[in-house]
Structure 1
Amino acid sequence: MTKAVLSNSSHPEYGVVSIPLPIPKEQYDGCTELLEALEIGVASNRDCHLDELHSPWPVLDRLEGTQVNLDELDYLAKRLDSFDRGEVAQFQAMAEKLGLTSLKDLINLSFCCQQATVITDFSDLESVGRSHYMNLNGGCASLEELENVDGVESALLLIEGNQGVVTPYGVVYDNGMQLEQIYDGKHFPFYLYDDAVLSLGLISKGQPENTKKATWLYLPATRKQLERGMLRSGIQDPEDMCFQVGSSEFPMEVDVALDFKQESIFDLNDLAWAVSRLDRDDLQKLGAVVALAEPENASQIRCLAENLVLFQFAPGAHTPAEYGMFMIQQSGHFEYDPNLDEFYDYEKYGLQHMNQEAGAFTDRGYVAYHGTVSLEVLMMGETHQEEQTFQMGGM
């Protein structure tokens, strides 16, 4: 793990703070609070003086002594954390060749350095040639294609026909790579580092829905991550905020029930936290429960997700007989004896239960509610009122 030592260049007497990179989600709020105590770490500012950077990427040492933005530093660390050995060599060699010294440029390089070829061992030209072929073809090739590549010839053509640049990380050939401005200095490109239940791009209602100028949030997120994301977006009025949906791990029934144009980011985040605690079987159960209860918003779905124990679910049951078989064989309510299977009247038992409960057959199976209050009351839950007045500088 990388560690950054940060300080306030205007007030060195305040001391320093060590921040782990990438920042673990559970430590994010604490890290930002430590920086706030030094009067630095503003979401949209490069106000942190990087005193030291302890990382496995020597090329990043050039950032020491500069002013950096915490979230840019964290984003780059996440990008590099996913790189394999070859990509690390490509990134470092190209950063050295281009003389990059800003986090913005380094972030952009992380998206295109894979086009370059770096030779660290000239004794294995066959491997060099095949790697070069892959680099020229977007990093992918079929096994049949690779078998037809003359690696030695490809490597010799590269070495003899191009001017390589010697770096501490190998001899690099850029292959015509251009440093595209994928990151504009404000809107981080969509990138899933941790598991996310829901990824949302914050955009202003005046922007087209497919705009690349979205501020991505990966839910569930901490309160600070939400607030800082909104600050980076520059959207001062929550009423002017709408969402792009990047990815969703919600059951299909939840996605259908949600109207993202009407939802609060806070309610969606609370729902994502609730869903993140569910295993695969519970996610299937939640889909059936949502089909039964027909909730109208994220808050009601969250209440259902937090009270799944109040529902009986028979996955795959679509007839009274199948429901009766589930209840007797799998529910755990009875001592099932397979030797007596032909004597069980599954349909009769299933119908008997169905007549005594509020249930329904769904695409996922049979689901019934066994709570003591009505579904409407259950879905009301506790009152969660989130602050809706947003001002620059905080929530």
Structure 2
Amino acid sequence: MNVLTKIGYDNLTVEIEFPIDDDSLEKILRDNYMPTDTTKPFYVRSIDYPNALSGLEGRTVNLDELNFLAKRMECFFGDEYDQFSIAVERTIATNLRDMINLTFNLDKYTLIKDISDMTKVGREYVLNTEGGVPVDSKYDEKYAQIGRDLLNSGRGIFTEKGLLFVENKPLDEVYDGQVFPEFAYNAAIADVEIEYNGKMEILFLPDSELAFGKALNRLGAKYLEDCDCVMEILDPKYNNLSETLDQVFTNKGINELNRILKRMDDEEINPQKLAAAIEYTGVTSPHDIGVLMDNIDDLELITDIDQGDYDEVGRYFINASDDYELSEELEDFFDIHEFGEYIADERSGQFISGGFIYYDGNYDMTDILDQLDSAKNSIKMGGL
């Protein structure tokens, strides 16, 4: 669900559709001669869609808060927009802090649109208030009774969207008006917890570099070095790179880490192959990791080969490569182990954790090694 707005600053007005990435938002503001500091008070001239946010019209807002709310709303599922709309109306929420908090409290607003099936009513109520229900039909009578009790409770409030049941408990203030709550809008490879003066924000990478400065500003920190930071890999495909990425983050900072992750994501670089290439060469610097990514298509990885198993290397090349063929008549006379050793030497191959990596480009491995800063340290690798 997109939020269509007309945003003003002084006598200027621009149409902005939220959610929007930080880089695009900054470009729109700059192109329309508005301040790029999104914490300044911008004026909401109109909310063209959705109607639930019409209470923001005529008010000044923080554009980052509005963007965060729009991201939350875009992730609504099923009846959640209707729940949110009714919650906004009932609580008379007219500021972004309250609206953001409502998106984290929809379990307190159950909306029943069909009362003809008591089992369905009971299941929907428990699913909304508790977050899950078993799928086994043996529980049907239990949920049918919950549905009957709910409809007979007298708590139902008729609305244009259905019968509303509001839980009699306070709303959780997930957003304190300063730092944004944990929320991954896009699929993330890693996150970085940043803590400063008892407050914490979590950044999900890769992201726009503008997001990092905004998070620091909300925390009240001037430099990342002033904060306690912890990096964690979220996508298990990248687990083999965790040590390398943590070193980049510790030694070079979040921007370098983000650039590596963004490039891997944009170019769909195989993290297992890159981890193997890093182990192969022993590189650690962002520059050298970039060189490996530049040349990743010239490297091939054979997985699930035991350390030193040249027989399996030889069999792989005979079976999988068009460059080598072996007739059945010659199998008994062919030294497969020696052939595997030949391949390792010919293609600068080396055993690494869980596999065997080798050069498969148009030149030879020195073409890559010569580009590395680490070449000055006389890299020594098996097969070279």
* TM-score normalised to structure 1 length: 0.80
Structure 1 counterpart of 2:28: 34
- Alpha-carbon distance in structure 2 between the residues aligned to 1:372 and 1:116: 64
Unaligned stretches of 5+ in structure 1?
382-395
Unaligned stretches of 5+ in structure 2?
376-384
Structure 2 counterpart of 1:44: 39
Structure 2 matches for 1:143-162, cutoff 5 A? 143-144=135-136, 147-162=139-154
Q: Which digits, 9 at most, give the CA deviation of each residue in 1:326-348, with x for residues without a partner?
A: 2233245x164786783654322
Residue type at the aligned position of 1:273: K
Structure 2 matches for 1:299-310, cutoff 5 A? 299-310=287-298
Cα RMSD, aligned residues only: 3.0
Matched, 1:91 2:84: yes
Please report how far the alpha carbon of residue 362 of structure 1 lies from its aligned counterpart in structure 2 after TM superposition.
Answer: 1.9
Inter-CA distance 168–366: structure 2 relative to 1 (3 Å threshold): same
Please report how far the alpha carbon of residue 271 of structure 1 lies from its aligned counterpart in structure 2 after TM superposition.
Answer: 0.8
Structure 1 counterpart of 2:299: 311
Structure 2 counterpart of 1:245: 231
Structure 2 counterpart of 1:123: 116
Structure 1 counterpart of 2:378: none
Contact 2:291 2:368 survives alignment (8 Å): no
- Alpha-carbon distance in structure 2 between the residues aligned to 1:311 and 1:348: 22
- Alpha-carbon distance in structure 2 between the residues aligned to 1:98 and 1:164: 17
User: Helix, strand or coil: the match of 1:83?
Assistant: coil
Aligned counterpart in structure 2 of residue 330 of structure 1, from 320, 326, 343: 320
Structure 1 counterpart of 2:350: 360
Matched, 1:172 2:164: yes
- Alpha-carbon distance in structure 2 between the residues aligned to 1:66 and 1:146: 52
Structure 1 counterpart of 2:211: 225
Contact 1:270 1:302 survives alignment (8 Å): no
* TM-score normalised to structure 2 length: 0.83
Residue type at the aligned position of 1:181: E
User: Helix, strand or coil: the match of 1:118?
Assistant: strand
Residue type at the aligned position of 1:39: M
- Percent identical across equivalent pairs? 24
User: Helix, strand or coil: the match of 2:64?
Assistant: helix
Q: Which runs of 4+ in 1 moved over 6 A?
A: none
User: Helix, strand or coil: the match of 2:179?
Assistant: coil
Structure 1 counterpart of 2:243: 256
Inter-CA distance 180–237: structure 2 relative to 1 (3 Å threshold): same
Structure 2 counterpart of 1:53: 47
Please report how far the alpha carbon of residue 134 of structure 1 lies from its aligned counterpart in structure 2 after TM superposition.
Answer: 2.3
- Alpha-carbon distance in structure 2 between the residues aligned to 1:221 and 1:240: 21
User: Helix, strand or coil: the match of 2:358?
Assistant: strand
- Alpha-carbon distance in structure 2 between the residues aligned to 1:322 and 1:145: 51
Matched, 1:348 2:338: yes
- Higher relative contact order by CA 8 Å / sep ≥ 6: 1 or 2? 1
Q: Which digits, 9 at most, give the CA deviation of each residue in 1:142-196, with x for residues without a partner?
A: 1237724444432332233243334343332122342211112222122222122
Aligned counterpart in structure 1 of residue 184 of structure 2, from 163, 188, 192: 192
Inter-CA distance 58–153: structure 2 relative to 1 (3 Å threshold): farther
Contact 1:202 1:242 survives alignment (8 Å): yes
Structure 1 counterpart of 2:379: none
User: Helix, strand or coil: the match of 2:278?
Assistant: helix
Aligned length: 364
